[in-house]
Amino acid sequence: MSTEAEPNSRTAKNGELLRAAAALLFPSLCLSCGVHPVEEIRTGGVCDTCWKALPEPEPGCLRCGDPLPALDAEVCGRCTIDPPAFRRLRAAAPYRGVAREVLIAFKFRGAAFLAPHLARRMRPRHGEERFDEVVPVPATGLSRLRRDHPAELLAHSVATLIGAPLRARRLTKVRATSRQSGLSAQQRAPNVRGAFAARGPVPPRILLVDDVATSGATARECARALIAAGARDVDVWCFARATREDAIAPLSWRGTAGEKA
Ligand SMILES: [Zn+2]
Ligand SMILES: [Zn+2]
């Protein structure tokens, strides 16, 4: 495992230990339904009923996972006209129901101990691809100042799960961008174009990890930077796939939320 990830993982581990101790003394309620008591260590703070109710991934574009307007189409219009640099973007669940509640707890309520539980559900049920390294989408804006960057926590857990090294600083942000959540679908791609660079040389097979994808514009730009720096294949795993109408954050968090898309 790369030493790059250590400060964050150490913070996460300390947090986990404290929470584990607290959970033994004060059993808590499920982060999703708020009804069932849970044991954080085993279930990540989410009850078994809620985990079972996690919505299934929906059929979509074979490349980017976007919902398809035509039933017989396999690839969306955008991927046909402008194919992404990544091979395929996969998400564990659509961004609704339990998936939304769990992700909000993870991103905005400090439930970092959820990371390994989310990572397990991100791994595709079929397919045993091998990756040379796992790279998180870089933190932007305010989340860069926070130590618990959600994509990096997830990438750390995914790397552990699949036994590949984590390269948390492989991608860097090279210019300022506006918050993606404040932009229309048409504005998102230009906002992040050329915003990322990869420190090379990059090995051939890269797994790019993000917590949630909306337009896929950030994943497209990150993949482009990785390929430009030497990667051959880039796959993207996200926990949730949002549609362009979904608000990524709970209302009270609008000010700092949804910096990626
Ligand atoms: Zn529950
Ligand atoms: Zn597509």
The per-residue pLDDT for range 7-25, each reduced to its tens digit, is: 556 666 677 676 666 655 5
The SS3 assignment for 37 reads strand
For the chain, what are the domain ranges? 57-256
CA of 62 from ligand 2 middle (Å) equals 7
pLDDT digits (tens, 9 = 90+) for 52-87: 999 988 888 999 998 887 778 899 989 999 999 999
Question: Average model confidence (pLDDT) for the chain?
Answer: 82
- Residue 100's pLDDT band (boundaries 50, 70, 90)? very high
- What confidence tens digit (pLDDT) does each residue in 181-239 have? 677 777 878 888 888 999 989 999 999 999 999 888 999 999 999 999 999 999 999 99
What is the distance in A from the centroid of ligand 2 to the CA of 235? 14
Distance 83 CA to ligand 2 centre (A): 8
**What dihedral do alpha carbons 145, 171, 152, 192 form, nearest 10°?**
70
E strand or H helix at 176, and its extent?
none
Please, which pLDDT band fits residue 97 given cuts at 50, 70 and 90? very high
- How many CB atoms sit inside 10 A of residue 163's CB? 10
Site of tokens 């085993």: 42
Maximum mean pLDDT: which of 20-29, 94-103, 144-153: 94-103
- For residue 85, the 8-state DSSP code is S
Neighbours of 21 (CB within 10 A): 10
| DSSP notation for 196-239 | EEE-SPPPSEEEEEEEEESSSHHHHHHHHHHHHTT-SEEEEEEE
Cα-to-centroid distance, 186 and ligand 2 (Å): 15
Q: Which residues, listed in sequence order, are joined to residue 191 by a DSSP beta bridge?
A: none
- Ligand 2 centroid – CA 14 distance (Å): 40
